[in-house]
Amino acid sequence: MNLHDAHNHLHDEWLLPHLDRIAAELGTAGIASAVVNGTTPADWPQVSALATRFSWVIPSYGVHPWDCGNRPDDWLGLLESRLASEPRAHVGEIGLDRWILDRAKPDDPRLAGLRRAPLDEQTGVFTAQLALAAADNRAASVHCIDAWGALSDTLRTTPLPARGFLLHAYAGPEEMIKPFADLGAYFSFNGSFLDPKRQNQRNLFKSVPPDRLLIETDAPAMPLPAALEKFSLPPSPTGTRLNHPANLAAVYDGLADFLGRPVKSLATQVEHNFRRLYCD
Ligand SMILES: [Zn+2]
């Protein structure tokens, strides 16, 4: 079986000290390709270096909504020239996030030092990046938390890539799956949804059209339940539990179990979907 990680951050500074071991274990676990997402101009060179080193890395570049408030003035020109020099690259991680404005704690360590951009500013940055993806027909990898109505409004009024776009770790309303799919959305299942307490998120994937289903780790973020982990890493310097991207195989197994279908048939379906969105 060839397994494909639709969304991760392999270049993350917390994974880099372990990169040689991780790359070897990804091979052991059958991971055939991974879309590696930069989130700010400062980390795009690391994504690019990984794509040069590993042929199975598919690079993707964007300004994440959490990084929107601290973006440099020339961010859009930097993105245009980065994409022009890398024809295989896609666009992401981009998106909208109202959680950082309404629900995140003021002292959340993941947001330390970040200016939390208001939603209209996030929307402008998101729309400009979608337009770049649409112009070159590159896939867009989209993050959305607590902003589903705004996301729907933006997607309906902005040019979109003809090949489609990914709603990564989809946890939006069930009734929006079909309208998003009609706009070209793919939906990726994340290993953290295998947590027994996240039944609502798991159940959403019974409504995802089979030809729009993808699987992801979001490594080093969003670890799967510890009991299901096949590969582990030491915690980050700040004590955060890290998700090893080779756990993708366990996510395939968990989703196949949940959907009641053989993992081989699931993997074949996901491979077709992955190639259609990222490779064809
Ligand atoms: Zn991500």
Per residue in 257-269, pLDDT tens?
999 999 999 999 9
Distance 171 CA to ligand 1 centre (A): 14
The helix (H) or strand (E) run that includes residue 142 is strand 140-145
Distance 7 CA to ligand 1 centre (A): 6
pLDDT of residue 33: 98
In this predicted structure, the answer to whether residue 109 has a pLDDT above a threshold of 90 is no
In this predicted structure, the answer to whether residue 237 has a pLDDT above a threshold of 90 is no
Q: Indicate yes or no: pTM above 0.95.
A: yes
In this predicted structure, the answer to whether residue 280 has a pLDDT above a threshold of 90 is no
In this predicted structure, the answer to whether residue 238 has a pLDDT above a threshold of 90 is no
Taking CA atoms, 2 is separated from 8, 26, 245, in Å, by 17, 11, 14
In this predicted structure, the answer to whether residue 178 has a pLDDT above a threshold of 90 is yes
Buried-state track 12-45, b at ≥16 Cβ within 10 A, e below 16: bebbeeeeeebbebbeebebebbbbbbbbbebbe
Q: What percent of the chain has pLDDT over 70?
A: 100
- pLDDT-derived band at 102 (thresholds 50, 70, 90) equals very high
Give the residue, 207 or 280, on which the prediction is more confident.
207
Q: Is 152 exposed, middle or buried (0-12, 13-18, 19+ CB in 10 A)?
A: middle
Distance 193 CA to ligand 1 centre (A): 15
Buried-state track 113-143, b at ≥16 Cβ within 10 A, e below 16: ebebbebeebbebbebbbebbbeeebbbbbb
Distance 35 CA to ligand 1 centre (A): 10
In this predicted structure, the answer to whether residue 108 has a pLDDT above a threshold of 90 is no
Distance 229 CA to ligand 1 centre (A): 19
State the average pLDDT over residues 35-46: 98
Distance 10 CA to ligand 1 centre (A): 10
- Please tell me the distance from the alpha carbon of residue 105 to that of residue 235, in angstroms, as a whole number: 22
pLDDT of residue 177: 98
pLDDT of residue 107: 87
Q: What percent of the chain has pLDDT over 90?
A: 95
pLDDT of residue 228: 96
- pLDDT-derived band at 105 (thresholds 50, 70, 90) equals very high
Q: Which of 152, 149, 95 is nearest to 124 (CA)?
A: 95
State the average pLDDT over residues 195-207: 97
Distance 214 CA to ligand 1 centre (A): 14
Q: CA dihedral defined by 82, 37, 66, 96, rounded to 10 degrees?
A: 90
Distance 260 CA to ligand 1 centre (A): 27
Residues in the chain: 280
Three-state DSSP class for 55? Answer: coil
Per residue in 136-148, pLDDT tens?
999 999 999 999 9
The amino acid occupying position 20 is D
